[in-house]
């Protein structure tokens, strides 16, 4: 574990990735966000529960690509522990099955590694508010009628639902309906 400087009034994030290089890079990116601090970097997800509790972390940003799916297990254990730390998962796998697995583990967000810095910041804020966040690439792949809540529960797809490609307007409209985006 590598603790970082932090502020009591900001969103406190623990970065969990087996690569020290990636942990450091993500921590530096997070430190650029106003009101968000990276309070620790972990290379082993099994330490997450203790560290999150000790540092009063608001969000754990976990890489899904750990061997033996340790990232999913850490997210599930964190949720079952009653900890107030919310989880956002990073993944290279854009499949809906992976997204469902993430949401069913108790995570509040799913980002593909290709996501931009703005999506990361939005996902961290959404998690702290207790909202679910899916990156736009995943929203685009959701079949019509498929909701985040249904994915979290593991409900099967509605009869006749097929994956389709949507325009940016369709994606934004769906994100507004699902409460992922808010109009100002």
For 70-89, the pLDDT digits (tens) are: 777 888 888 788 789 999 99
Confidence of residue 155 (pLDDT cuts 50, 70, 90): low
Check residue 164 and give its pLDDT. 44
Check residue 122 and give its pLDDT. 94
Check residue 161 and give its pLDDT. 47
pLDDT more than 90, % of the chain: 35
- For the chain, give the mean pLDDT: 80
Q: How many CB atoms lie within 10 A of CB 164?
A: 11
Can you tell me the mean pLDDT for 111-127? 92
Q: How many CB atoms lie within 10 A of CB 32?
A: 9
Choice among 43-47, 77-81, 160-164 with the minimum mean pLDDT: 160-164
Can you tell me the mean pLDDT for 160-173? 54
Q: 41: number of CA atoms within 13 Å, CB side?
A: 18
């Amino acid at each position: 574990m590598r603790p970082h400087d932090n502020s009591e009034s900001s969103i406190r994030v623990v970065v969990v990735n087996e690569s020290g290089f990636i942990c450091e890079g993500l921590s530096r990116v997070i430190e650029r966000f106003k009101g968000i601090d990276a309070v620790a970097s972990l290379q082993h997800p099994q330490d997450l529960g203790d560290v999150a509790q000790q540092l009063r972390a608001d969000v754990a940003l976990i890489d899904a690509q750990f061997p033996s799916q340790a990232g999913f297990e850490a997210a599930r254990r964190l949720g079952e522990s009653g900890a107030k730390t919310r989880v956002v998962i990073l993944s290279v796998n854009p499949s809906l099955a992976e997204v469902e697995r993430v949401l069913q583990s108790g995570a509040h967000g799913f980002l593909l590694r290709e996501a931009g810095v703005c999506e990361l910041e939005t996902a961290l804020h959404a998690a702290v508010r207790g909202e679910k966040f899916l990156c736009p690439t995943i929203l685009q792949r959701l079949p019509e009628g498929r909701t985040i809540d249904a994915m979290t529960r593991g409900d099967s797809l509605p009869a006749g639902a097929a994956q389709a490609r949507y325009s940016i307007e369709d994606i934004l409209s769906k994100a507004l309906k699902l409460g992922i985006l808010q109009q100002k």
